[in-house]
Amino acid sequence: MPGLRLTETQVRRLCTSDAQTAASALRALVSAGFLTVMDDGSYVRTDVFRRRPQSPMGSSDRAAVA
């Protein structure tokens, strides 16, 4: 699901798996490049993370305004 972010605990509940299995699966998905770990420890699909829209005032626009 695009935009879905889950923590390891949420993955365990969703998949009804134990902590070791969930952690192993998440590590494998991160190593394969399918998931990215966010700063808050949640996991998100890498392709969705890379497609985040830029802010309307991108860095080149800020320089023109200043």
Q: Which of 15, 13, 16, 11 is nearest to 30 (CA)?
A: 11
**Residue 25 located in a structural domain:** yes
**Residue 39 located in a structural domain:** yes
**Residue 2 located in a structural domain:** no
**Residue 59 located in a structural domain:** no
Position 59 scores a pLDDT of: 46
pLDDT confidence tier of residue 52, bands split at 50, 70 and 90: low
Q: What is the number of domains present in the chain?
A: 1
**Residue 17 located in a structural domain:** yes
**Residue 60 located in a structural domain:** no
**Residue 1 located in a structural domain:** no
Q: CA 27, CA 66: separation in Å to the nearest integer? A: 44
* Domain containing residue 26: 8-53
**Residue 63 located in a structural domain:** no
Q: Give the DSSP per-residue string, 20-58.
A: HHHHHHHHHHHHTTSEEE-TTS-EEEHHHHHTPPPPSS-
What does the pLDDT look like over 16-44, one tens digit per residue?
999 999 999 999 999 999 999 999 999 99
Check if the beta carbon of residue 1 is closer than 8 Å to that of residue 35: no
Query: What single letter denotes the amino acid at residue 61?
Result: D
